Structures are given as structure tokens and as C-alpha cells.
């Protein structure tokens, strides 16, 4: 069992400080007591699922993720998927593990979601149509000369997913240029280039 730290409260000691997040043009105080962090990249997200099998099929068929062998020490029902430098860990929902309530029908870009950068939005939209997945399409930032195309849809449990070409939008750090750490190849886990099941191309 892991340890649960309760000392700082749900949001840490900074959660209740008012006026901490300021206008990006005047954000110097935001970084005053923040040391350089040893983080490298997003490793994985975890989802509670009504059906792990249905979610595996969705993420493989709709988004091209690859099923990965899980460590034997994980003795609960679930599945690991990986691709594009990020993992998706699926856990079977039961009475002890209840997923948060979501609206499976409404497509609201303001809802909680994960987003994948895409190099061919047309191909992705065709794939959603082929799979008869309901989606919302929109383009923003056109007036600024850097249009961003977005597709929003939901997985079998109603969690929102966005596909976008967000690389069209230039990121402008707010007073913290030296703090940006862009992902490097070294953050990727070692991959055993031998296929252990399925119809992969491993040798």
C-alpha cells in the first residue's frame, strides 16, 4: 500500500493563496519558490472502465494504441496501452472503484478531456466516420492567422477526447522561458522488439 500524504491538504499549501495566478504579462511571482523539477514527460493516464475489453478495442481501433503486457504484480482486472510516447492504463470498474459521473451524450469542449496532436485531421475524421463515432468539429484562432482544427468525441465510458493540430499555435512562455523542458527520446520506456502475441511485426 502506498502512503497518503494529508499534511498539505487536497491542493497543497498554495491552493488557498489568492492572487497567485496572475496575468501572463506579470507572472514573475508565480515562479519565485519553484525549484527546477526533475520531471521529463507525461507517462500515462489512467481510466476506470465499465468494460476493459470495450475500451481496449476503442483505443486500438479508433486511435491506434498498442496493447502492452502488464506487470504480473498487478492482480486486478485491467489493461495497458501505449503509443505516441504516452500510456493509457485501464482499470475495470467495480463496487470498490467507482468512476466519476459523466454525460455520455453531451460534447462540450470545456469538459475535462485529453488531447492528441494530429498530423492529418482529414484522415482522423474519416476514421471516426467509419467507426460511426459521434464527434464535434470546430476551428478556432482563425483571426490570429494560426487556425487550430479540433475534433471532440468520447470513449465508451463517456470520457472526452480531443484530436487537434495544436502545433500551429505558438507557445509563448509567461516569464519562464528557461523553465520549459521539451520531451526527449530518453523519456520513452525501453521497448522489447519481439512480438509476444497478436499480429504484430516483431521478429
- The C-alpha atoms of residue 118 and residue 61 are separated, in whole angstroms, by 16
DSSP H stretches of helix in 131-162: none
- The C-alpha atoms of residue 175 and residue 171 are separated, in whole angstroms, by 12
For every residue of 24-92, DSSP letters joined together read GGG-GGGGTT-PPP---S--EEEEEES-HHHHHHHHHHHH--EEEPPPTT--SSEEEEEETTEEEEEEE
- Say whether 142 is catalytic: no
Residues near 121 by beta carbon (within 8 Å), at least 6 away in sequence: 149, 151, 163, 164, 165
Question: Grid coordinates in use for 110?
Answer: 470545456
The active-site residue, picked from 18, 32, 142, 162, is 162
Do 143 and 102 meet the contact criterion of CB atoms below 8 Å apart?
A: no
DSSP H stretches of helix in the chain: 52-63, 121-130
Question: Catalytic site residues?
Answer: 162
Amino acid at each position: 500500500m502506498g502512503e497518503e500524504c494529508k499534511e498539505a491538504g487536497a491542493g497543497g499549501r498554495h491552493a488557498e493563496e489568492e492572487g497567485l495566478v496572475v496575468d501572463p504579462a506579470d507572472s514573475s511571482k508565480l515562479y519565485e519558490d519553484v525549484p527546477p523539477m526533475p520531471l521529463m514527460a507525461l507517462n500515462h493516464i489512467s481510466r476506470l472502465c465499465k468494460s476493459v475489453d470495450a475500451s481496449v478495442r476503442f483505443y486500438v481501433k479508433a486511435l491506434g494504441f498498442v496493447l502492452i503486457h502488464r506487470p504480473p504484480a498487478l492482480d486486478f482486472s485491467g489493461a495497458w496501452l501505449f503509443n505516441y510516447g504516452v500510456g493509457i492504463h485501464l482499470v475495470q470498474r467495480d463496487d470498490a472503484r467507482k468512476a466519476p459521473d459523466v454525460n455520455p451524450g453531451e460534447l462540450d469542449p470545456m469538459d475535462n478531456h485529453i488531447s492528441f496532436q494530429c498530423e492529418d485531421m482529414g484522415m482522423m475524421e474519416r476514421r471516426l466516420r467509419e467507426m460511426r463515432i459521434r464527434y464535434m468539429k470546430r476551428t478556432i484562432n482563425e483571426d490570429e492567422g494560426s487556425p487550430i482544427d479540433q475534433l471532440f468525441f468520447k470513449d465508451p465510458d463517456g470520457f472526452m477526447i480531443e484530436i487537434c493540430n495544436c502545433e500551429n499555435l505558438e507557445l509563448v512562455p509567461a516569464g519562464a522561458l528557461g523553465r520549459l523542458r521539451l520531451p526527449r527520446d530518453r523519456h520513452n520506456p525501453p521497448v522489447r522488439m519481439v512480438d509476444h502475441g497478436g499480429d504484430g511485426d516483431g521478429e
